[in-house]
Amino acid sequence: MEASKKRKLGSGEAADAPAQDDTKVLMRLLEPFSRDQLVAILVSAAMQHNSILTEIKTMASTDVVHRKIFVRGLPWDITSDRLRLHFVQFGPIEDAIVIMDKATGKSKGFGFVTFADMEAADHALQAQPHDIDGRKCPCNLAATHESLSSSRQRAEASYQKAPPPAAYTPPPATTYPPPVPTHAPALASGDAGPPGDETDRKLFVRGLHWDTQVETVTTEFAKYGDIEDISVMKDRQTGKSKGYGFIVYRHQNAAKRALAQPMKLIEGRNTHCNLASQPTRGNNNHSAPGAGHHHAPSHAHHPPGPYHAPPMQPAYPPQMYMVPPSYGMPPPPYADPAAYAAYPQPPPMPGYGYPMQHPPPPRQ
């Protein structure tokens, strides 16, 4: 009796166990699914099963893009140790660094914090803005850099339809040296000027390399002033740069200084920046009416041709080209040649296939 129960139990467990080729069948079923459909399935499964959620978080934590945050609005006198001391309350930290100005040795107003796991980074993002030495400091993921402002979303929607810049490496002969800042350090408060509207402080930069990170762009554009927000747009499928990004300065004067030198060398590529509110000048379709076009006056001289040549005057009177009728019945001058058909024509001369053009000379 017990043996039969054990045999039934064993057979039932074997029936519930997955077959060896179930993985192949599952992969074949999921292959035609789109990315959005797969994400929806994973989200639904993770919300119902904690083991799946834990597995997803474990795999995501191995990538630094989910653990590294960008902090802006820092005090000028902050140090990397002070930045680490503030964010260690959210979890273990692998690295914390404040970007310093080489000329003054003071903070440029932003830095980066890399946590040991993704959950600590999430806690830090949820607790923003952070109060650091009396200043409100927002933060976000350094790699994806998803902005929370609606203005960025509108600006991104206007540019994402444009094709990415061609993968072009300029020859050494046309490589320009890095721009040398000609302004005073952006740390001086007297040179900051009024903040101004965001449309006058937000720049659009294009021509970036596919592997360019936000840290590299930040280092280049921080030369001109304090940065309030910066982003490099990423392709969701490849995770690489789309070749363009946005920079929002804290003050309008800093944006003007950056625009004074629109071409900048970033990782060996010549990039170009302009106000995000203005379209790029890749073509001249939006030129002023009449610009670049010269309209000739209506009385201008046209070259001779089949449509503009003046009527030519005959070299001889029309009578010279008409076949004369029989003697005694001359047609009226300038008559329609069709009317000549009613008159008999003289016979042709021997040896010629055409009627005479002139009457024979009188005999002597």
Question: pLDDT, tens digit, for every residue of 57-90?
Answer: 777 777 788 889 999 889 988 999 999 999 999 9
pLDDT above 50 for 283: no
The CA distance from 245 to 267, in Å, is: 15
* Burial tier of 310 (Cβ tally within 10 Å: 0-12, 13-18, 19+): exposed
Is 350 or 257 the better-scoring residue by pLDDT? 257
- For 156, other C-beta atoms within 10 Å of its C-beta total 18
pLDDT above 50 for 301: no
Is 202 or 46 the better-scoring residue by pLDDT? 202
pTM for the model stands at 0.35
Q: Bridge-partner residues for 282, per DSSP?
A: none
Mean pLDDT value across the chain: 72
| Average pLDDT of span 287-296 | 38
Q: What is the pLDDT of residue 8?
A: 47
User: What residue ranges define each of the domains in the chain, with the CATH number in brackets?
Assistant: 64-146 (3.30.70.330), 198-275 (3.30.70.330)
Using one digit for the tens of pLDDT, what is the confidence trace for 85-139?
999 999 999 999 999 988 888 888 899 999 988 889 999 999 988 999 888 999 9
Sorted by sequence, the CB contacts under 8 Å of residue 314 that are 6+ apart come out as 321
Q: What is the pLDDT of residue 97?
A: 92
- At 241, the pLDDT band (50, 70, 90 cuts) reads confident
